[in-house]
Structure formats: C-alpha cells, structure tokens
Structure 1
Amino acid sequence: MAVLRSYSREQRFLLPPDLADWVAEDDLAHFVIAAVERVTLDAFKINHRGTGKAQYHPRLMLGLLIYGYANGIFSSRRLERATYRDIGVRFVAADQHPDHDTIAAFRWDNARAFEAAFLQVLLLARESGLLKLGTVSIDGTKIDANASKIRSVRYDRMQALRAKLAADIAALTARAEAADAEDAPDPQALPRELARRETLKAKLDAACARLEAEALAAHGQAKAEHEAKQAAYAARTGRRGKPPVPPDDGPDGNGPPPAPERQSNLTDPDSALMRKSARHEYRQAYNAQAVVDAEGSQLIVATGLATTPGDQPTFAATILAMEAGIGLPRTVLADAGFAGRAPVEALKARGIEPLVAVRAMQGERPYDFRPPPVAPKPDRAVREPWRLAMQATMNTEPAKALYRLRKQTVEPVFGIVKAAMGFRQFLRRGLAAVEAEWTLVALAYNAKRMARLCAA
C-alpha cells in the first residue's frame, strides 16, 4: 500500500523570524546585499528636506532592482508583486513592499547609483583576485527600443503630413468656433479632435527640426573637412591632381535639406532602425555594447550605447571611458565591425594594443546549409597602411591565440543577458535613460556572474 504524506492547507504557519532561513546560502541575494552596502549614500537621489512620508532606503531599492533584473523581473509592477510572492525578493526587500510607482521613480532618478554600484562590483572582483583587466573583448548587440518601427516617418512624408494636419487643424478650429456660436450640445468633441491633431503636428515639427539640425551639423563637418583637404592640396608642389570638390551649400548656403529617405521615430527619437545583418529584418533598436574581461572572469567591465548600427563610431570612446573607473586594459579584441583608422590610432596613443579584424575572420564552412552565391563578391583589396599593419599583426600566432578568446568571452554574455535573464527590450526611452538601464542590466549580470564565481 502506498504511503502518502498528509497535508492541510488550513494549517496556520508563519514565516521564520529570519527570512534568511528560507534563502539558500549560495543564493544571489546574499551577494547583491553585500554589493549595495558598498555604495555611498551620496550616489543616490534622496529627499534631504525631511518632508513627506519616510523614504525607502536607497540601498534597499537598488538591491531590489539588481536582484529583479538578474532574475528576469524588469517591470516595476512585477517587482512589486514579487515582494509578496518571491522569497528571494522578499529577503532582499527586507519584507518591505514599495509600490510600482516608487520603484519606477527610483529607476528613473538614480543613474549615478547604478554606475557607482557597477564600479563597486568590479572593485570587489579585483580585490578578490577574480578580475585582472589585461585583455578585454568588445562587441555590440541590437536590443529593441521601447518603440514601434511603424512610428518611424520619412522626412518627405513628414512634410506631406504636416501640410495635411495644418489644413485639418484650420478646418477643425473653424468648426469649433461655429459650434461655440451655435451652443452645440457636445462642445468638448471638437476640442479633443483638435488637440490630438495639434499634438501629432507638434511631434512631426520636432522630428523635422531634429533631422534638419543633423543635416546642418553634417554640412558643417563636410565644410571643415573640405577646408583641410583644400589646404593640403594648396601646399602640394608639382603635379597636384584634381582639386577637392566643395560640399553642396544648398539654396540658402547652409547645406542641402535632409535626404527624403531620412527617418525619425516619433515615440523614441534616439532609437533607429537597425538589423543584425542583411539576412535579418529591420527593428527599432539601440546598439548596446559591452566590454568583457577575456582573462577568465567574463565580467562586463564597461558598457556603451550607440544609436547607429555600426560599432566603429563609439569604439575608442567606450574603451577610453574605462580610465575613470576600473582602469584601462592592455589589449582590446574586436571584430571587423570596429575596424577604423581613427579609433585604432586613438587607442594606440594611450598605450592600448587593439587587435581588430580588418575583414571577416571566419572562413568558409565545409558543410554550409546555404547554397553558395551565384556571383560571389571578390574580397576587397587591403591598401590602407594601418590596415596592412593590422593584418600583419593579426597573422602572427600570438595574436591569433588571443583573438580566439573574443567570441568565447563577449558573445556568451549577450546570450546570457537575452536568453537566461530574458532582457530583449528596453523599458525606458531616450538615449540617457536607455544608457542608465543598460548599466543596470550589466550590473545585474555581473552580480549574477560574481555570485557564481564565488560559489565555485
């Protein structure tokens, strides 16, 4: 006869006096609590006036966010609910239950605290001998913005919509004035329709202004480059060739207007349409970048964020920004997407050795499922001096051995962030807000990774 353990849902019981009794000794919660205690209070935004209700302690709120992100709980409403239902979250929150508005406001106001906690975790890793910071890998991944791509509008379409909305607003204004004169039964209907159109027109006006400002800045940069080329051309002796062609000044002397196909998103203007490769679809996204320790710890030592699909424009800035935090590395490993003369020279000037692929390093697969192209493109000839020098360096055996660490250190990090932690879309909008959230994601990943390394 089977022996079954009896149970009763009517049996009354209380949580233990110490919530830690219900949390495993190797749980991430213990490391998160220890890490946030190292963050000084001046890194947080606190109401020092002493007015209103007592505030939740900022270290408690920071620990709650880190633990939530590390376990795939990103929504402030889900975090609030987890403070009641999840033992680990309840332990980190010290059995307190901040509401979702409080959690969202803390996440909005405390970007500096995320950066401070991120640095403290790295310093803790260095103190424990887990982080040496000699060789690092850098890569980027596309993460969806909190905006739909159907809200991206072309510049030429914006002009047409602005004209149509102006006509509609004028017509609705006339109807509203007529309704006021006739004392219509529903005087609020027309003002609501009018307000919606005026709001949309204001967004389109702002989007046009952004694109026009970008075009003006690009024209100014083109003029500066032309002046430099013209000066170099004038200084030459002997056969000088054709003079440099000046940029188009446009009808008003400030450069041509934005190209008709230029787009701007009305929901999150800082995001952009991007795709991973020619075989993937376009998505409204940000290019989130991570610098990862390649000497064993696999911790994220720096983060960056680009609003362009290409990685090259932010390459040097992301690496050099490490000097103010954990320090500069000796060697940087990067794929062909980061290849550029200016960033490579900038890194070398600071004593950093960049090992950057000047072309795709992966050869042809012996058993590729895809058919070969009908007319394969010939490899582009490498002629630039810096590319020839980099190619010679990359062909040496020590460089090859180091470069093999790149894909086995940085790429798994993105896999963990997207698959294990479940972070595939930013919750916030705007470049500054998204940068803060990406720092929080990296902080949660590092806490998760450090807890695993310390337990090993």
Structure 2
Amino acid sequence: MKRFVEGADREQATLFPESLEDWVGEDNPVRVIDVYVDELDLAELGFAGVDPKTTGRPSYHPSVLLKLYIYGYLNAVHSSRRLEREAGRNVEVMWLTRRLAPDHKTIADFRKDNGPAIRKVCARFVELCRRLGLFAEASVAIDGSKFKAVNNRDRNFTEAKMKRRMAQIEESVARYLHQLESADRQERSKARAMKIDRLSEKIAKLQEEMQRLEALDKQRLAQPDNQISLTDTDARSMATSGRGSGVVGYNVQAAVDTTHHLIVAHEVTTSGSDRSQLAPMSKMTKAVLGVGKLDVVADRGYFTSEQILECVEADVTVTLPKPQTSNNKLRGRFVKSDFRYVASKDVYICPAGETLKFYYTNEEKGLTLRRYWTNACASCAIKSKCTTGAQRRITRWEHEHVLEDVQRRLDENPQAMRVRRETVEHPFGTLKARMGATHFLMKRLKNVKTEMALAVLAYNLTRVMNIIGIGPLMRAMRA
C-alpha cells in the first residue's frame, strides 16, 4: 500500500540547538562576510557612526548594517524591508547580526548615507584578490550593459517621444472636435447634451496634458542631452541590442579578468554609448591591478580612434574589431582594407595595381587626415567596382598605424572575440539575475553606484569562494 511522506506533529516538543553557533556550519558563506567586515577599518573607510555619541538613543554599529547588506546582495535580497524581515526569521542573519533586528528605515538610511564608504569596501576586496594572486595575468575584457532604473518609460521624455506624444494628443483632439461638430448637428436631446459634455471634458483634459508636455519640453531642452526623467532625474533612455527596444536606466561598465572572471573595475554612467569608455576603463583597471602594461579586449562598440591612441599612450594593448561604416562592400565595391599601404613610400596600392600618392593634409573633427589618390581612375577597367566618382580617394589618419596594429592583433588571434564574450557577458547575466527584473531600487547616480558596488562585491565574493574555498579565503582575510 502506497503512502505519502508524513510531516512532524506541530504540537510535538522539539529540542533545538542551544546556541546560534550550532546552526551555522564552518563552511557557511556567512562566516566569510563576518570575517571580512570585522577585518576592515570602517572609520578609515569613512563610515559614519563608528564612534557612538555619548547622548541620545544607542545606535547600531555600521559593521552590523554592512554585514546585513552584503548578506542581502549575496542572496538576492536587496530591499530594506525584506532585509528587516530576514533579520527576524533567518537563522544565518541572526547569527551574523547577533540577533539584532534594525528597522527598514535604519537599514535604508545606512546604504543612502554611506555610499562612498561602501564603494571602498568593494575596492578593498579587489585588493585582497590581487594579494591572493588571482590576477596573475594582466588581461581583462571590457564591456557595458544597460541596467533598468526605477524610472518608467512613460516618465522619460526624449525629443522623439515628446513629438510622438504631442502628435497623438493633437490627433485625439481633432477626432473629438469632429465628433463634437457631428453632435451639434443632431436634434436636441438629453443624450446629445451628455455626449457634448463628455467630449468637451475629454478635450479639456487633453489640452491640459498638452500644456504639461509643453512645460516639460522646455525643461527637456535645458538638459545637455535633451532628455528628462521625472522619477529618477539621472536615469537616461538608452538603446539595447534588441531591435527597436530600449531601457530607461544606466550603462554599467565592467572590466573582467580573463582567467577567473572576477570584476576588477566597474563604473556606472549615464551615457548610452560605449564609445568614450575604453580609455577611462582601461586606465582605471591598470591602476587597480598596479601593473605597468595591460591587455584589453572589447567589442566593436568601443572602437574610437582617439580612445585607442589614448590606450596605447598609457601602455594598454587593445584588441577589438573595427565597425564597418561604409556601404561599399554591400554594393559590391572595394573598401579601404582592399587598398594596401606601403609605409616606406607612403603610398597606397589599389586592387588594379595603381599607386595612390599623398597630396595634402587637413583636419576634421580634431583629427589630422592625409589624402591619397591617383589620376589613373578614368581609364581603369575595374573602376565600376571601386567608385562612381571621377577618382577614388583614400583618407589616412596620422596615427593610422595604431589602428593597423589593432587589426593585426585581431587577425593573429581570431579567438579574442569569443574569449571576450565568454569572459564578460557571464558576470552581467549573473548580476542581473540576482538584482531581479527592476535592477536598481534607488534613485540618482550616486546611490545607484552604491547599489552596483554591493552587487559587484557579492559577485566577487561568490567567485573567490568557489575558486579557493571558504576556509582559505577566511585565513587570507585574517592574514
């Protein structure tokens, strides 16, 4: 005869362990959090409330609240209200906080008021990883990902959104006015009067909305990037990889170690583009690792001539593909890469074997450009595959050799882009999975940076515990 597994009687007396210590095993990650925070000099890091006041109500030591937050981000519990509940029911949290149970406002205020110090705690753990030799190879992959803010799409206004919404209102007003004219031509009745009142009320509301949008549009035009967010004023509308999709949020940049996939450096920006981030992120990573030279791999979204040159001048070797900006290849015509440059003679050789000589130099958008062409194009047999103009001209940047070195490295190491993808996309996926559907809970850039630092610290903690083990990690923290 089949039976179900039966549970215990709820009225039966139970003998629990006498102390919380018996509930937390030696290999429990919560012990790592406890040791790590206890070994930090919180006053030096800038935490408020390390030294209690002599008067007033006793306060919680910042170490208690810091441990609580690190535990929360390690276990995908970011809300201050949820952390408050965990402190009263979770045995691990009771052990970690010594049965202290702060209220949600105290918990939330700690994160809000100690942002810079919390970000330093994240940086200190990266320093520990460096001392442990986990960054033996000075090689990282850099990438950016869009994280959602608490600002809804309907509470963000760009030029395109504003025009679209105003056009919708004008269309609705025109439709209601047409219906109002039709109602005026009908015989007088109670139903006709009610319809006219209803349409008049709708038109009045739409006119009020138009006035509100016009006022918002003036505020929008005063912003440097011509967009405005009402809930989180720092959040920005950004395009994502999905066609026609976008997100109102922040662009998180990360430099990830190619060996152990640890996040070496990160930054939260309000720019939706990665084009100006390569050099700053590379220099930041180089400073964190304390190395003289650094190898960086990134995707084509970071390709900018000035940024690559800045990296070279900072002893950073970058590998990334160049985006195809010309449509000639799609049209079956030759592109610049089909022309061979001869450095010793400072000339280009075209696919037909003709020599394109240097003629003059000019400046465009701050770049010094050299111009090359030949007068043999008119009689060339394959001119139709090259250009529709009188002659094909080639432009060369004065530091073009830097870009050629980048392309050469990519040709010699075709697996670099796969390494980049396998290195940096996994951490972003893990961070977003832990942070949930609405990634950031706080408003404003400075607070979002604090949230990101806690999320990165939790990610790195998990990685190092998996790499070297909980026991060795705690011994290294005490050393």
The two structures share one fold, judged by TM-score above 0.5? yes
1:307-349 superposed Cα distances (whole Å, 9 cap, x missing partner): 1221122222223234554435611111111111222122211
Return the offset for 1:423: 6.5
Cα deviation for residue 280 of structure 1 reads: 4.8
State the distance in 1 between where 2:110 and 2:148 align.
23
Aligned match of 1:309: 272
AA aligned opposite 1:388: E
Q: Relative to structure 1, is the Cα distance of residues 380 and 359 closer, same or farther in structure 2, using a 3 angstrom cutoff?
A: farther
Matching residue of 1:359: 323
Given the superposition, is the C-alpha separation of residues 306 and 380 from structure 1 closer, same or farther in structure 2, using an over 3 Å criterion? farther
Question: 1:133 and 1:114 mapped to 2: Cα distance?
Answer: 27
- 3-state SS in 1 of match to 2:443: coil
Would you say the 8 A contact 1:70–1:421 is kept in 2? no
Distance (Å, rounded) in 1 between the aligned partners of 2:105 and 2:217:
30
Structure 2 CA distance for partners of 1:155 and 1:334, relative to 1, 3 Å: closer
* 1:387 aligned onto 2:403: yes
Name the structure 1 match of 2:62: 58
Corresponding residue number in structure 2 for 1:230: none
Q: Which residue of 2 aligns with 1:112?
A: 116
Identify unmatched segments of 5+ residues in structure 1.
162-196, 216-261, 361-374
Other-structure match for 1:432: 446
Tell which deviates more after alignment, 144-153 or 36-45: 36-45
Residue 32 (structure 1) aligned with residue 38 (structure 2): no
Distance 1:31 1:211 in 2: 50
2:177 matched to 1:214?
A: no
Q: How does 1:8-87 map to 2 (within 5 A)?
A: 8-13=9-14, 16-42=17-43, 43-47=45-49, 48=51, 49-87=53-91
Contact 1:80–1:97 (Cα < 8 Å) also in 2: yes
C-alpha change, 1:314 and 1:10, in structure 2 (3 Å) is same
Q: 1:406 to 1:209 in 2, by over 3 A?
A: same
**Cα contact 2:157–2:220 (8 A) shared by 1:** no
Corresponding position: 1:449 with 2:453? no
SS in 1 for 2:268: strand
Unaligned runs of 5+ in 2: 167-207, 338-395, 471-479
In the alignment, structure 1 residue 350 sits paired with structure 2 residue 366:
no
In the TM superposition, residue 263 of structure 1 has moved relative to its aligned partner by: 2.6
Identical amino acids, percent of aligned pairs: 31
1:263-412 paired onto structure 2 within 5 Å: 263-295=227-259, 297-322=260-285, 325-328=288-291, 330-359=294-323, 381=336, 385=400, 386-396=402-412, 399-412=413-426
Residue 279 of structure 1, CA deviation: 1.8
Q: Which has the higher contact order (CA 8 A, sep 6+)?
A: 1
Q: CA 1:115/1:17 → structure 2, altered by over 3 Å: closer, same or farther?
A: farther
The residue type paired with residue 359 of structure 1 is P
The AA in structure 1 aligned to 2:249 is A
Q: Deviations over 1:225-251 (max 9, x none)?
A: xxxxxxxxxxxxxxxxxxxxxxxxxxx
Cα separation, partners in 2 of 1:95 and 1:337, compared to 1, 3 Å: same
Amino acid at match of 1:115: R
Give the Cα separation in 2 of the matches to 1:204 and 1:33.
54
Aligned residues of 1:311 and 1:338 also touching (Cα < 8 A): yes
Seen in structure 2, the aligned counterparts of structure 1 residues 340 and 98 have a Cα distance that, compared at 3 Å, is: same
Cα shift readout 1:92-114 (whole Å, capped 9, x = no counterpart) = 22221111101100110112222
Q: Over the residues paired in the alignment, what is the CA RMSD in angstroms?
A: 3.3
CA distance in 1 between counterparts of 2:119 and 2:272 reads 25
Displacement of 1:393 in angstroms is 2.2
- Structure having the larger proportion of residues in strand: 2
Q: Any idea what SS the aligned residue of 1:451 has?
A: helix
- What is the number of residues matched between the two proteins? 355
Structure 1 segment 86-101 matched on structure 2, within 5 A: 86-101=90-105
**CA apart distance, 1:445:** 0.8
Deviations 1:232-278 (A, max 9, x none): xxxxxxxxxxxxxxxxxxxxxxxxxxxxxx43111122211123225
Give the direction of change, closer, same or farther, for the CA distance of 1:72–1:393 in structure 2 (3 Å limit): same
Largest Rg, 1 or 2: 2
1:26 to 1:88, Cα distance in 2 relative to 1, 3 A: same
Indicate conservation of the 8 Å contact 2:255/2:285, yes or no: no
Q: Residue type matched to 1:19 in 2?
A: L
